Chains A and B, each alone.
Chain A
């Protein structure tokens, strides 16, 4: 089962998604949180600490930190686990810009990420993917930014097609485009 949540910053997508994930937790399985954010500065550290603290209060989350190459996490995940991937936007930017300064092979990045999503989804009981909506402003002229937005949009379309549940978060209110 795949659930996709997308919304603006501070739209409540993580909190709402987490509450859905906690409900899906099985007695024999774990709640796995895949954190893709890298601690780059103080503000980022605070954001991460805020999310960690909230999760600790709500349920017993098991956190796996991995900025990219998420396929390598497969052997740490059991078929009974609920997996929560937060979030697609940082994962994509890590895949595109974090690893090397070489020219980004967008087709290869897209292929790799779609394959990873499929594998993760097959491998656990429930997969939740969180992402940002950044498609409602003029697309940047700068080529690497434009590529990033295009790639993210294409991956979103792929995920929504595969998802059982697709939710747009608007100021804390979930709008269900697919499933319930």
Chain B
């Protein structure tokens, strides 16, 4: 699993599209969590070789809205672990998680926003600890802070 993070509007999506251009075929799946119909349960099958989740923090936000007592840990267990298992079953499979780092600003006034921000920090830590590669994108430039085979 490759985690790609960085600030908002820093060019993360474009970087993933360029880096994985040869693998982003009709055998790949791209989930955009910023769309109104944000998917939380990512459905896929064995015919796919590549899965990209764009905006994992947004999927978490929707999950927390639905599950009042929910946590990053629970989200990770329910929705990220199946992706890891899917990836592990075949060497050719690759999962990329794109997450906006929303953890460095002012403490939000709103309680729900505050929880979402905290849980996003936790979720990114969980994802990063299981990831083989971790890349930070800074206005289009990339720095890989973990792994880096590709």
CA distance A133 to B117 in the complex (A): 18
Chain B residues within 8 Å of A, Cβ to Cβ:
6-11, 100-106, 108, 113, 116-117, 138-141, 143
A interface: dominant SS: mixed
Contact in complex: A135, B11 (CB < 8 Å) = no
Contact A157 B11 (CB under 8 A): yes
- Are the C-beta atoms of A136 and B7 separated by less than 8 Å? yes
Interface residues of A (CB under 8 A from B): 6, 133-139, 149-150, 152-154, 156-157, 159-161, 166, 168, 177-178
Select which of B6, B9, B104 is within 8 A of A150 by beta carbon. Answer: B9
Query: Which 7 pairs across A and B sit closest by C-beta, in order of nearness?
Result: A137-B105, A153-B9, A135-B7, A136-B104, A160-B139, A156-B139, A157-B140
Which one of A149, A150, A160, A168 lies within 8 Å of B140 (CB-CB)? A160
Of A137, A138, A157, the residue contacting B139 (CB under 8 A) is: A157
9 chain-A/chain-B pairs, Cβ below 8 angstroms = A135-B10, A136-B7, A136-B8, A137-B103, A138-B113, A157-B10, A166-B139, A177-B143, A178-B141
Residues of chain A within 8 A (CB-CB) of B139 are 6, 153, 156-157, 159-160, 166, 177
A168-B9 in contact (CB<8A): no
Least distance between A103 CB and chain B CB atoms (Å): 21
Q: Once bound together, how far apart are the Cα atoms of A178 and B43, in whole Å? A: 39
B108 A138 Cβ-Cβ under 8 A: yes
> Chain B residues with Cβ under 8 A from A6's Cβ?
139
With contacts A136-B103, A137-B102, A138-B117 taken as known, whether A168 is within 8 angstroms of B8 at the C-beta atoms is no
CB < 8 Å: which of A139, A161, A166, A178 contacts B8?
Answer: A139
Residues of A within 8 A of B105 (CB): 134, 136-138
Chain A residue contacts of B8, Cβ below 8 A: 135-136, 139, 149-150, 153
- B102 adjacent to A161 (CB under 8 Å): no
A94, chain B: closest CB distance, angstroms = 20
CB B120 to nearest CB in A, in angstroms, measures 9
Q: How far is the CA of A159 from the CA of B139 in the complex (A)?
A: 9
